[in-house]
């Protein structure tokens, strides 16, 4: 009864992100009521393992008393402090410093946002400011990668290369360009790592030449493409792209909104390839989803150029809730948890998850299994021999999602037949095994 009335209220009033409003009205909302560890409980009392950590974000798992206490303490002491007018708060300053200590290379400057989309959007503004400050205003063209996701802010949605984020909006993005993804399972050059790296380098080179090398401002990558279907580039790909950008004086942005904070193992995925970008964008695992926060990491040379360029003039970029003290207090506590065992547990659990999902390769529907750490995907196909994809529509995905739900598992079922996994890093071995087992049952029922 309680849930039914909520369903009606939701239908009437709550606009859901990235949803067909009409099919949402038809199907109705599933109301989540509580959660602990890696388990969520819905309004009817049904318990499920959250194999997707909310939206790839609750890396620490649910219900950590110490996080709740850190937030409550901060709310009592100082629930809000602006970072405008030269003001600040202790948790925000400390978090910026702790993060800079751990970030790769000279990414020593941190700008806090409310999430990932505005982190990406902030980089676009900073990058424009940077090139203007360097006296190169013509460097105003941006490149990203097909299948990439960089949020849905008005400018950042253009860097996002997923059709739903463009269709129907009609916003002009003629200053944004794409190169093909490294997507190994469906790459025209095959799945040889070196061939994929060379193809991406050639594509970037010819894109830069087509735009005009003196026009290109920045290149954006995800160390692993998340929303495009968990597409893992070959080892060396990120480094090769970074080196190309360095040689051509193009700023290199690593969007680590998903891959950051232990999702693939370390705090920053690009450190696995010893890559130091000019910017890193993060969100999600930064606060483990308990409160909203994102962060832009900026390299020394970018910061200095912007600062010098502006001189005594204010750089007009800011949000009321930038460097929010409650979010920062949560971020500090979450960082402690990562370093007191969570990252290690994630590495162990991630290896078990990959082994388990790989064992599904014998299933007639499974075409590919890929991932790193606690970030993985199973790609379903109609016919393994020729990799015929599932019909690209929301309905089959919804059916698989619903079946998995009935089996006590939350996964992401993408419309192209890819199942996404990003469980909390706190998962036990039993929970990881249950994720795999429940997936197999779901696939059997889907056949
Ligand atoms: N960038 C990447 C790589 C993401 O995966 C996401 C969200 O999934 C974003 C940016 C946008 O983040 P948010 O949803 O917090 O705005």
In angstroms, the CA 50 to CA 410 distance is 5
Whether residue 351 is found in the same domain as residue 312: no
In angstroms, the CA 226 to CA 235 distance is 17
CATH code for position 360: 3.90.1150.10
Long-range contacts at 156-165 (CB < 8 A, ≥ 24 apart): 156/117, 156/120, 156/121, 156/124, 159/120, 159/124, 159/220, 161/228, 162/227, 162/228, 164/18
The pair of structure tokens assigned to 275 is 């890559």
Find the 17 Cα to ligand 1 centroid distance in Å: 12
The pair of structure tokens assigned to 440 is 């197999």
Q: Ligand 1, residues 58, 117, 123, 290: which to mutate, most atoms within 8 A of Cβ?
A: 117
Find the 77 Cα to ligand 1 centroid distance in Å: 31
Give the structural domain span for 195.
Answer: 66-337
pLDDT computed for residue 201 by the predictor: 98
Whether residue 294 is found in the same domain as residue 378: no
pLDDT computed for residue 281 by the predictor: 98
Whether residue 300 is found in the same domain as residue 202: yes
In angstroms, the CA 253 to CA 107 distance is 11
| CA 265 to each of CA 23, 38, 339, 349: distance values in angstroms, whole numbers, following the listed order | 37, 18, 12, 10
Q: How many CB atoms lie within 10 A of CB 440?
A: 17
Q: How many domains does the chain have?
A: 2
Using the structure block, give the residue that is written with the tokens 């029922």: 445
For the Cβ of 113 lying below 6 angstroms from any atom of ligand 1, the answer is no
In angstroms, the CA 128 to CA 433 distance is 48
Secondary structure letter of residue 99 according to DSSP: H
Find the 25 Cα to ligand 1 centroid distance in Å: 25
pLDDT computed for residue 70 by the predictor: 98
In angstroms, the CA 117 to CA 114 distance is 8
Whether residue 16 is found in the same domain as residue 122: no
162 neighbors 128 (Cβ within 8 angstroms): no
Find the 95 Cα to ligand 1 centroid distance in Å: 21
Q: Which atom of ligand 1 is nearest to the CA of 222?
A: 3
Whether residue 106 is found in the same domain as residue 231: yes
| CA 167 to each of CA 144, 234, 389, 397: distance values in angstroms, whole numbers, following the listed order | 18, 31, 22, 20
Whether residue 213 is found in the same domain as residue 111: yes
Write out the E strands in 251-351. Answer: 251-255, 279-282, 294-298
419 neighbors 378 (Cβ within 8 angstroms): yes
Q: Ligand 1, residues 283, 327, 375, 414: which to mutate, most atoms within 8 A of Cβ?
A: 283
Which residue, 35, 47, 50, is CA-closest to 425? 50
Whether residue 78 is found in the same domain as residue 135: yes
Whether residue 243 is found in the same domain as residue 275: yes
Q: Is residue 382 helix, strand or coil?
A: strand
140 neighbors 176 (Cβ within 8 angstroms): no
Of 305, 337, 369, which closes a domain? 337
Of 283, 309, 337, which closes a domain? 337
CATH code for position 171: 3.40.640.10
In angstroms, the CA 254 to CA 251 distance is 10
Q: What is the pLDDT along the chain (447 residues), one digit of tens a residue?
A: 456 799 999 999 999 999 999 999 999 999 999 999 999 999 999 999 999 999 999 999 999 999 999 999 999 999 999 999 999 999 999 999 999 999 999 999 999 999 999 999 999 999 999 999 999 999 999 999 999 999 999 999 999 999 999 999 999 999 999 999 999 999 999 999 999 999 999 999 999 999 999 999 999 999 999 999 999 999 999 999 999 999 999 999 999 999 999 999 999 999 999 999 999 999 999 999 999 999 999 999 999 999 999 999 999 999 999 999 999 999 999 999 999 999 999 999 999 999 999 999 999 999 999 999 999 999 999 999 999 998 877 788 999 999 999 999 999 999 889 999 999 999 999 999 999 999 999 999 998
ipTM comes to 0.99
Find the 257 Cα to ligand 1 centroid distance in Å: 5
Strands of the 409-410 sheet, one edge to the other: 32-36, 39-42, 47-50, 409-410
Secondary structure letter of residue 216 according to DSSP: E
In angstroms, the CA 241 to CA 222 distance is 11
pLDDT computed for residue 3 by the predictor: 65
For the Cβ of 420 lying below 6 angstroms from any atom of ligand 1, the answer is no
pLDDT computed for residue 393 by the predictor: 76
pLDDT computed for residue 1 by the predictor: 45
Q: Which atom of ligand 1 is nearest to the CA of 148?
A: 3
Whether residue 132 is found in the same domain as residue 153: yes
Q: Ligand 1, residues 59, 120, 321: which to mutate, most atoms within 8 A of Cβ?
A: 120
For the Cβ of 115 lying below 6 angstroms from any atom of ligand 1, the answer is yes
Q: Is residue 141 helix, strand or coil?
A: strand
- ∠ CA 142-279-309 to the nearest 5 degrees? 80
Q: Ligand 1, residues 258, 264, 327: which to mutate, most atoms within 8 A of Cβ?
A: 258
Beta-sheet pairing, 216-221 with 141-145: parallel
Find the 363 Cα to ligand 1 centroid distance in Å: 32
**CA count, 13 A, side-chain hemisphere, 203:** 22
204 neighbors 179 (Cβ within 8 angstroms): yes
Of 285, 314, 337, which closes a domain? 337
Whether residue 272 is found in the same domain as residue 362: no
What are the residues whose beta carbons fall under 8 Å from the beta carbon of 358, sequence distance 6 or more?
369
CA-proximal residue: ligand 1, atom 7 (nearest): 151
Q: What is the pTM of this model?
A: 0.98
pLDDT computed for residue 31 by the predictor: 95
In angstroms, the CA 355 to CA 75 distance is 43
Find the 59 Cα to ligand 1 centroid distance in Å: 15
For the Cβ of 117 lying below 6 angstroms from any atom of ligand 1, the answer is yes
For the Cβ of 60 lying below 6 angstroms from any atom of ligand 1, the answer is no
Whether residue 282 is found in the same domain as residue 356: no
The pair of structure tokens assigned to 371 is 């991932």
Alpha carbon 10 to chain centroid, angstroms: 27
Q: Ligand 1, residues 53, 120, 147, 151: which to mutate, most atoms within 8 A of Cβ?
A: 151
Burial (CB count within 10 angstroms: exposed 0-12, middle 13-18, buried 19+), residue 418: buried
Whether residue 291 is found in the same domain as residue 432: no
Long-range contacts at 162-169 (CB < 8 A, ≥ 24 apart): 162/227, 162/228, 164/18
The pair of structure tokens assigned to 317 is 């970029």
């Amino acid at each position: 009864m309680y849930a039914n009335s909520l369903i009606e209220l939701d239908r009437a009033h709550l606009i859901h992100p990235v949803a067909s409003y009409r099919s949402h009205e038809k199907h109705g909302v599933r109301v989540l009521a509580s959660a602990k560890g890696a388990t969520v409980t819905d309004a009817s009392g049904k318990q499920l393992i959250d194999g997707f950590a909310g939206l790839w974000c609750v890396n620490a798992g649910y219900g950590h008393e110490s996080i709740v206490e850190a937030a409550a303490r901060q709310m009592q002491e100082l629930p809000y402090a602006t970072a405008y007018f030269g003001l600040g708060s202790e948790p925000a300053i400390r978090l910026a410093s702790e993060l800079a200590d751990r970030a790769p290379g000279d990414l020593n400057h941190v700008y806090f946002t409310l999430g990932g989309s505005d982190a990406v959007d902030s980089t676009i503004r900073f990058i424009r400011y940077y090139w203007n400050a360097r006296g190169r205003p013509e460097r105003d063209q941006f490149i990203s990668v097909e299948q990439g996701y960089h949020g849905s802010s008005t400018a950042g949605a253009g860097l996002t290369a997923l059709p739903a984020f463009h269709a129907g909006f009609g916003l002009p993005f003629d200053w944004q360009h794409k190169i093909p993804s490294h997507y190994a399972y469906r790459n025209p050059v095959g799945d040889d790592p070196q061939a994929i790296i060379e193809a991406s380098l050639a594509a970037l080179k010819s894109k830069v030449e087509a735009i005009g090398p003196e026009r290109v401002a920045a290149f954006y990558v995800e160390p692993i493409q998340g929303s495009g279907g968990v597409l893992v580039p070959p080892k060396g790909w990120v480094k090769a792209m970074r080196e190309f950008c360095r040689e051509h004086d193009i700023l290199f942005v690593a969007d680590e909104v998903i891959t950051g904070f232990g999702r693939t193992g370390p705090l920053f995925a690009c450190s696995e390839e010893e890559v130091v970008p000019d910017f890193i964008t993060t969100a999600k695992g930064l606060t483990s989803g308990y409160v909203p926060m994102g962060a832009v990491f900026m390299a020394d040379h970018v910061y200095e150029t912007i600062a010098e360029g502006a001189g005594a003039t204010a750089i007009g970029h800011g949000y009321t809730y930038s460097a929010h003290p409650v979010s920062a207090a949560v971020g500090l506590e979450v960082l402690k948890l990562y370093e007191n065992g969570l990252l290690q547990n994630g590495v162990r659990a991630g290896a078990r998850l990959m082994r388990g999902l790989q064992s599904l390769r014998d299933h007639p529907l499974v075409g590919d299994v890929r991932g790193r750490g606690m970030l993985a995907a199973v790609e379903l196909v109609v016919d393994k021999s020729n990799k015929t994809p599932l019909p690209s529509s929301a309905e089959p995905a919804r059916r698989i999602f619903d079946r998995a739900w009935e089996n006590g598992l939350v996964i992401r079922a993408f419309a192209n037949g890819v199942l996404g996994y990003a469980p909390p890093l706190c998962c036990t071995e039993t929970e990881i095994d249950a994720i795999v087992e429940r997936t197999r049952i779901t696939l059997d029922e889907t056949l």
